[in-house]
Structures are given as C-alpha cells and as structure tokens.
A = this chain, B = another copy of it.
Amino acid sequence: MASRTDTKTRILDAAEKLFAERGFSETSLRLITSKAEVNLASVNYHFGSKKELIRAVLARYLDVFMPSASIEINRLHLAPEHASLNEIFSALIKPLLELNKVRNGGTIIFLQLLGRGYIESQGHLRWFITTHYGEHLATFVKAVAASAPHIPQAEMFWRLHFTLGTIVFTMASADALNEIAAADYGEHNNTEAIIRKVIPYMAAGVAVPVLTN
C-alpha cells in the first residue's frame, strides 16, 4: 500500500501541467522533478528522454479522448441524416469534459497541450496523431463531411484545420482571456462555457457556402 503516488505518475502529472502552462521548451526537467518532488534522474530512468516524456504526456490524454470521441460520433452516426454540424461538435463536449474527471483541469490541459504540440513540434505531433489515432479521426471527418455535403473535400480539409486552430489557440489563451472578460464584462466562464461559445462559431464557419466567383 503506497503512501504516495507512483513516481512515474507523479512525473506525468507535474509535467502535463507545466507543459500546458509554459510550453515544452520553456519547461525544464529540473522544474518538473522539483514540482513532482522526485529525483531529477528519475525522468530519464522512467522515460528515457524529455522528448519521450512529452509523447507519454500526450498519449495519456489521447488514449482516453480518442476512443471516447469515436463512440460519441458513432452514436450520432446511427441516424446520420439528423446530425447537424452543431450536434457533431457538441458530441465532443462529453469526451472533453470527462477529462476533467480523470484529472483536475484535464480538459483545458489537454487542449492546451494539443495547441502547444502543433505549434512547437513542426509537424511531428500531426504525424503522431494521424498514425496512432487515424481511424478515430476518420470517423469524425466522415461525419462532418456527411452533414455538410455541399463543401468539397479539399475545402473541408482547410476548414477543419481552421477549426483546430480556433479551439487550441483559444484554450492556450484561455486564462488571459478569462481575466479580461471578467474585468471588462463581469463574465466568469469556466472551460465548458468557453467550449460552448466556440462551437457555434466553428460550426458556422465549416458550413458556410463556398464562394463561386
């Protein structure tokens, strides 16, 4: 009976929080191990290198989120003629919020990690996700395409990446934006409120007719 958490888990827990807040390259192993209250050398013992620690942090979230998202999309897909874009995006809310049950602030940490990863890793993360979770992604992309059949495939490719940018940038800036919104408008939004604000924005953008000029 352990009186404290596994060293490996302690490292992952401390690392994901710091990575999400500060970015990968701005977070040193020394900072991680001191917050985790473990020895500096234990990172290399358990993970081999900082790069592999980063992958382990991301995989721990993706392994929970991706299958869960897939299931929710497939549930809609049973009656595909009724699934609007808003419904498809909204189907991701539950898998996202369930990450909060896995760990405190899990939802926002996951989305921030995703954004940091895409921007810092020069394409490595995109490769990692499509090769490891490609089938789950395909489920999602197919559902979106079916509910917006007037959008050509190539255009949809761009719009889904616009969508990814919208949400990950928003989440990377969420703390700062929340502070401003509180000061200027008296609003107090949690992560779920922000997600619910951004979904109509993304759904409208994805579905807007292509200009024919």
A173-B181 CB under 8 A given contacts A23-B120, A155-B197, A200-B211: no
Q: How far does the alpha carbon of A126 sit from the alpha carbon of B176 in the complex, in Å?
A: 9
Whole-angstrom distance between the Cβ of A28 and the nearest chain B Cβ: 12
Please indicate the chain B residues that have their CB under 8 angstroms from the CB of A162 in the complex. Answer: 166, 170, 198, 201-202
Q: Is the CB of A169 within 8 A of B119?
A: yes
Whole-angstrom distance between the Cβ of A22 and the nearest chain B Cβ: 8
**Residue from B126, B169, B180, B187 within 8 A of A169 (CB atoms):** B169
| Chain A: interface size category | 35 or more
Q: How far does the alpha carbon of A173 sit from the alpha carbon of B192 in the complex, in Å?
A: 26
Q: Is the CB of A115 within 8 A of B169?
A: yes
Whole-angstrom distance between the Cβ of A50 and the nearest chain B Cβ: 14
A164-B153 CB under 8 A given contacts A26-B25, A176-B126, A208-B204: no
Within 8 A of B (CB), among A53-89: none
Main secondary structure of the interface of A (DSSP, over half): helix
**Residue from B119, B126, B194 within 8 A of A115 (CB atoms):** B119
**Residue from B118, B173, B181, B202 within 8 A of A205 (CB atoms):** B202
Within 8 A of B (CB), among A152-201: 153-155, 157-159, 161-162, 164-170, 172-173, 176-177, 180-181, 184-185, 187, 194, 197-198, 200-201
Known: A119-B172, A157-B180, A157-B181. 20 other contacts (CB 8 A): A22-B122, A23-B119, A25-B25, A26-B120, A115-B119, A119-B169, A154-B184, A158-B198, A162-B166, A162-B202, A164-B169, A165-B165, A165-B166, A165-B169, A165-B173, A166-B205, A200-B205, A200-B210, A201-B206, A203-B208
